[in-house]
Amino acid sequence: MRRLNTILLIDDDDTTNYLNHRLLNRLEVAPDIRVVMNGEEAIDYLNKSFASVDGYPRPDLIFVDIKMSVMDGFEFLEEYQQYADAQKREIVLLMLTSSASFYDLEKLKHFPDVRRHYSKPLAEADVREILHEFF
């Protein structure tokens, strides 16, 4: 299993962020868990990370919510697709959603960077599955 250093949580729901952060900390998944509140903040973070700006380590794992204000998950994914494959190669990108509508799941098929979707908040079994499958 590959060691994770940084996880990026992209969600505008404080409760979900708290629960996911707490679970990931309890399971000691990564020493550095970052939280941003929307896709725009996530793109800003990734731009700094890919430019090797101090304080913005490249995430090993990204969880992105579908429904957010400012820039939602799908808008984030459209921007994320523009990054070079070399920049994204070591990043596992997963979608989180509280409403797995047929429309959203069909739309996800257009974003090959998304490895899988999970219901939020994360459960311990989800995290163990993610670590086993992707790391």
CATH for 117: 3.40.50.2300
- Return the pLDDT at 8: 98
Task: Give the single-character DSSP code of 63.
Answer: E
Q: Is residue 90 domain-resident?
A: yes
Residue 26 domain boundaries: 6-134
Any domain includes 108: yes
pTM score, whole prediction: 0.94
Residue 99 lies inside a defined structural domain of this protein: yes
Task: List the chain residues with pLDDT less than 70.
Answer: 1, 99-100
For the chain, the domain total comes to: 1
What CA–CA distances, in Å, run from 46 to 5, 34, 105? 15, 12, 25
The pLDDT of residue 18 is 97
* pLDDT for 100: 66
Please report the pLDDT score of residue 104 as a whole number: 77
Residues 6+ apart with CB under 8 A from 87: 50
In a domain, 75, yes or no: yes
- What pLDDT score does 103 carry? 76
**124-134 and 14-26 helices, crossing angle to 10°:** 60
On whether residue 1 sits in a domain, the answer given is no
pLDDT, tens digit, 9 for 90 and up, residues 9-39: 999 999 999 999 999 999 999 999 999 999 9
